[in-house]
Amino acid sequence: MTLRINSTAPDFKADTTQGPIEFHKWIGDGWAILFSHPKDFTPVCTTELGYMARLKPEFDKRNTKIVGLSVDPVTNHSKWAKDIEETQGAAVTYPMIGDPELKVATLYDMLPEGAGTTSEGRTAADNATVRSVFIIGPDKKIKAMLTYPMGSGRNFDEVLRLLDSIQLTARHQVATPVNWKNGEDVIIVPAVSDEQAKAKFPNGWRAIKPYLRIVPQPK
């Protein structure tokens, strides 16, 4: 299955470090971030999982659940979590999905169909493409996807910034400009006419070009 933005996030059942989940039911009526890893006990991923553990309160504020995935059994994840807490200074309090049969990795197009049905004997290099982040909305649609190479640690501050942008633009008819950060000015989307904009933004806007109208971020 080829996934794109606005595709329905595939539903699945899986074991996690916090018990079995049905993914769509687990998401509920909020947002979710699924981020994947090619193997347990890998150095870059250890730093990433620890950083996400420290960021979890920020995602909680945004009504967003986070869940990690690695193509190894849950029993391995529990051992790895101890290393993560020891080396990164943060306990992993979000669930980590076990995917030893590669079902979720294949379902989310992170591995080809011919990858087989077991993580046994596979190395991180074999699973190098299992390095993705999916932001999923309450409607269970994929809102954004990021994929990193195995040697480059992901920027989860950017994932948080992207989530802020997606949630804001879902509520208001605005877009966020380059390098935007929460609280900065935004752009009125072209689909909103000037007449409509007067009602939506009664304090006015700054028109750099007819198609480039800058307005303070809506509350």
Indicate which residues carry an active-site annotation.
45
Q: How far apart are CA 213 and CA 218, in angstroms?
A: 14
E-assigned strand segments in the chain: 13-14, 21-22, 31-37, 64-70, 96-98, 132-136, 142-147, 174-175, 186-188, 206-209, 212-215
Token duo for residue 200: 């939506």
List Cβ neighbours of 139 (8 Å cut-off, separation of 6 or more): none
d(CA 205, CA 194): 10
141-145: long-range pairs with CB below 8 Å, 24+: 141/6, 141/7, 141/8, 141/9, 142/3, 142/4, 142/5, 142/6, 142/7, 142/8, 142/9, 143/5, 143/6, 144/5, 145/3, 145/4, 145/5
The tokens describing 126, both together, are: 């074999």
Could you give the strand order of the β-sheet that contains 31-37, starting from the edge strand earlier in sequence?
96-98, 64-70, 31-37, 132-136, 142-147
